[in-house]
Chain A
Amino acid sequence: MKKVSFFRTGSSGLLSWLSFRRSTARYFLIVLLLLALPLQAEVAFQDLLKLPAENWLSYSGDLTARRHSLLKQINTANAGNLVPQWVYHVKESKRLQGTPLVVDGVMYVSHTNEVYALDARTGREIWHYRHAQAKRHDGNRGVAVLGERVFFVSSDAHLLALHSKTGALLWDKEYGGHEQNSQISATLAPLAINGKVIVGVTGGDCGIRGFVDAYDAITGKQLWRFYTIPGPGEPGYETWGGHPVGISGGGTWMTGTYDASQNLLFWTVGNPGPDFYGESRPGDNLYSDSVVALDADTGKLKWHYQFTPHDTHDWDAQEFPVLIDATFQGKPRKLLVQANRNGFFYVLDRTDGKVLLAKPFVKKMTWARGILPNGRPDVIPDMDPTPAGRVACPGIKGASNWFSPSYNPETGLFYVITIEQCDIYTTSARPYKKGECYDGTGAEAIPAEPGQFFLRAIDIQTGDIRWEIPMVVKDTMDPWPGTVSTAGGLVFFGDNEGYLSAADARTGKVLWHFNTGQLITASPMTYSVNGKQYVALASATDVFCFGLFEPMRPEATLKEHYEGGGTKQGN
């Protein structure tokens, strides 16, 4: 049989080039091939900064987390014609929580300790990488891409770099310290910026010291670390009353955002530990429940803002810190907008962290009367948990949580899944025990008062709710439904009943819905291939893909020729 000699020369990588350097003819060919390589699906840093259109290159579409796509083939006039295009079942998955990325027709989907590359048009698998040696099996929220690399974290807090074409493992960097503390894990989608990959850790309920880390995207070398819990001698240490630094929490379990104009990262920090018992940690407990603005080159803190000082309700600040440039209060400003778990909608000036606006976006709110001009909450006394249990609102799930909000610059509206709920919070002094969680008891639902989910559209200028879509069924299991906004004037959102729906972004009128038959546990995204727009959701156990209905043409007759073994007639 004739072999295809073309392949034998090798094709890529400096090593292959070096290995063939003695042969002039091959040298020439390899140089030609190498010149051709940058044309392939390389993701440049500049690409990551653009609002998403054909490609969806980071967890939130771009590094600002506005989650607004420029695609408008699917729009308010035709959204009703959306139909399923394909479904990809992720083996063994139960609660997929990631957002798929799409690079030039290739979709990357993550699950616990594994990544899949799919043909984004057909849902057929290209490669699959499994990190079988991982020592934990937590959920995973997705991958990052830069150059020809795909980055993701394993559950035992390794940062892994895979080749985007083959899924080959390029490097494996243990970063979390899981061997020293088995409660340290990782679940976030890394954030890739200029030559760097930024990650955080999960485990703030279980006695860890949170941090944000930066690694060189090429070598995996650590560049800097920022601890979210200050050590002795550092500013903020005095806000803990001497509580041991190493077990104070401050997890960094969600992806941050990045402002290229200031070269600043905005990373959100989780609850202080123990979650529900505050007496052992008198003070504000910096930088728990805060957003920290970090210099992307050094990891140095530029400013911070703490949403919930001395939290005793597990109100992690992990909701997305969305970066919006807009005229605000009569002045063009760089804003950071967040609908926090504690029930307040915040607009900050992201150059200095000053609060410009803070207003409740839930009615069920019992812990603070408002936010004072100095940015501190006007706290209502005696709302901390008690040994017998005390009702407080929002509930433990928060007024919102990690699932994605979105922002449409044309409507000026911020779309966020909101939960109106109160819970009973209980506390007890609990000594830290290595290997166990450090929670100081917990919270539970009030039996006769289930929470209710809403999609709310908040005017960022005023914090007013312009429209809302209530979800009629209360008291469902734990859904985590998010949103995506498009230039087609749509907002796609999941609900607590398993539906993926599309609403008119201006009016909140629902134009399309699809029953996935299972819980929605993630946020949708959109992309296009060969001029056709798709909407995808990796949720529960499957990746679902939708597009506008087109009548299917009969399959053409294709003769497939098998060397040495007959032909297969296409149907």
Chain B
Amino acid sequence: MIALPGAYLTMQINWIVFGLLIPLLMVPAIGQDKPPEKKIANPFDKDKAAVETGRVQFNSGCAVCHGPTGQGGRGSRLADIERVRKMPDARMFEIIKEGVVGTQMPPSPLTDNEIWQLISFVRSLNLSAVEQDVPGDVAAGETQFFTQGQCSGCHMINGRGGLLGPDLSNIGARRSVDKLRKSIENPDALIEPGYSSVEAVTLDGRRILGAAKNNSNYSIQIMDAQGKFHFLLKRELKSLTHHKNSLMPAPSLSENQKQNLLAFLSRRSLETAAERDRRIEHGKEIEP
């Protein structure tokens, strides 16, 4: 009697959300069925002068909402973020040119070329590690990762390694070099969703320690050190502690070892450069 209306309400909310999504779904769907014949790509690409011109434009019109380094404020974050990194050029151009209806993002008065320069700058804020020239001995970094560095005890790359930490097969395409370095130096600074440490005690006294794969008001899904899942309803718990720190210890590495590891990790990408370029030029917008 109590559950019934609640359950139906959930269903209804779902329909409403679905209804709102339909217009959003239309755009990628069209692109997906018939890729545009003509390639729409930024003519300035990574041109250094264009990036600098774009930076000036950004500071005079965009920084007010998005922040001078694109970290986001009143407007959304634009720097070092998957959503922007994977957005095709044509889509980014359209957003700047037309603005975003229903938000404070106005249509831009800039010329097409100026918009492309602005895009060159925004792209420069989102260079993934694999797109950057990262010095270091890749082979030595690989050895470090799989043996003395003990990284593969918890992290997997292309099927080799442990389960407790995030899979790193594609990390070079997902992170900037700065963020990668930060994660190595200070693992607590950035904990990937699904990998934060929790400790649950059930009503019958079982203590479960592990990574929270998902957490909501009514249930929590934990993977323990053996890789075993514990899917728990909150009502079955006596206590739940969310640890602040990462499960990963800060490795003690020399600067040289760190650089080698960084060089190795920066090159972990499941997408080739050609595939990336094709996606940016033609492709479908992909959420992380």
Contacts and interface: CB of A to CB of B under 8 A. Distances in A.
B36 interface: no
A432 interface: no
Interface string A62-103: 000000000000000000000111110101101000000000
Interface residues of B, number: 78
Interface stretch (B71-79, B113-121, B146-154, B253-261): B146-154
Contacts of B229: 41, 104-106, 126, 165
Nearest to B241: A561
A551 interface: yes
Given A84-B10, A133-B270, A558 B164 contact: no
B107 interface: no
A37 B227 contact: yes
A28 interface: no
Given A16-B153, A16-B162, A11 B1 contact: no
Contacts of B194: 126-127
Interface stretch (A43-51, A168-176, A312-320, A385-393): A168-176
B46 interface: no
A1 B158 CA distance: 33
Contacts of A1: 243-245
A336 B95 CA distance: 57
A91 B21 CA distance: 9
A18 B153 CA distance: 9
A570 interface: yes
Nearest to A550: B3
Given A89-B17, A106-B229, A83 B244 contact: no
A125 B229 CA distance: 13
Interface string A1-19: 1011011111111011011
A447 interface: no
Interface string B231-266: 101110111111111011100000000000000000
B156 A37 contact: no
Interface residues of A, number: 75
Given A87-B10, A563-B244, A12 B162 contact: yes
A331 interface: no
Interface in B171-197: 194, 197
B204 interface: no
22 contacts: A3-B245, A4-B247, A11-B153, A12-B227, A13-B153, A36-B226, A40-B227, A86-B10, A105-B231, A121-B219, A124-B216, A124-B219, A124-B221, A132-B270, A168-B159, A541-B18, A558-B237, A558-B238, A561-B240, A561-B241, A562-B242, A570-B234
Interface of A: 1, 3-4, 6-13, 15-16, 18-20, 33, 36-37, 39-41, 83-87, 89, 91-92, 94, 104-106, 119, 121-122, 124-127, 130, 132-133, 137, 161, 163, 165-172, 517, 541-542, 549-553, 555-556, 558-565, 570-571
Given A122-B216, A571-B217, 16 more contacts: A10-B150, A11-B227, A15-B161, A84-B10, A94-B25, A119-B221, A166-B167, A169-B159, A169-B169, A541-B18, A549-B4, A551-B3, A556-B234, A558-B234, A558-B239, A564-B244
